[in-house]
C-alpha cells in the first residue's frame, strides 16, 4: 500500500497546479518566439519580393537605357565637333 500511496503522490505532484502553470507559460513563450521568428521571415521575404519587383519592372530599366543612350549621343556629338574643328583648321 505504501508504494501505491507514493505513486499516487508522485502523480499529484506532476499534475499539480504550479507544474501545469509552468508548462503553460513555457508553451506560451515558445509560441511568442515562433510567432516573432515567423514575422521576421515574412518581413524579409516581402523585402526580397519588393526588390525583385522593382528590378523586374520595365519603366526604370527603360529610363536607365534612355539615359545611357542620351549620354552616348552627347559624347558622340562632342567628338564630332572636335573632329570638325580639327579638320577645318
Q: What is the mean pLDDT of residues 38-66?
A: 87
Contact status, residue 19 vs residue 13, Cβ threshold 8 Å: yes
Place of cell 500500500: 1
Note the pTM of the prediction, 2 decimals.
0.45
Give kind and range of the element (H or E) at residue 40: helix 17-56
- The model's pLDDT over 52-64, given as tens digits with 9 standing for 90+, comes to 887 777 777 788 8
Residue with cell 499516487: 8
- Mean pLDDT across the stretch 26-52? 94
Element (H or E) spanning 57, and its range?
Answer: none
Amino acid at each position: 500500500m505504501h508504494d501505491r500511496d507514493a505513486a499516487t503522490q508522485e502523480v499529484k505532484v506532476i499534475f499539480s497546479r504550479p507544474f501545469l502553470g509552468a508548462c503553460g507559460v513555457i508553451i506560451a513563450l515558445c509560441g511568442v518566439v515562433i510567432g516573432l521568428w515567423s514575422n521576421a521571415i515574412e518581413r524579409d521575404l516581402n523585402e526580397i519580393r519588393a526588390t525583385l519587383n522593382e528590378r523586374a519592372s520595365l519603366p526604370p530599366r527603360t529610363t536607365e537605357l534612355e539615359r545611357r543612350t542620351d549620354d552616348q549621343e552627347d559624347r558622340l556629338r562632342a567628338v564630332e565637333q572636335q573632329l570638325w574643328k580639327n579638320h577645318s583648321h
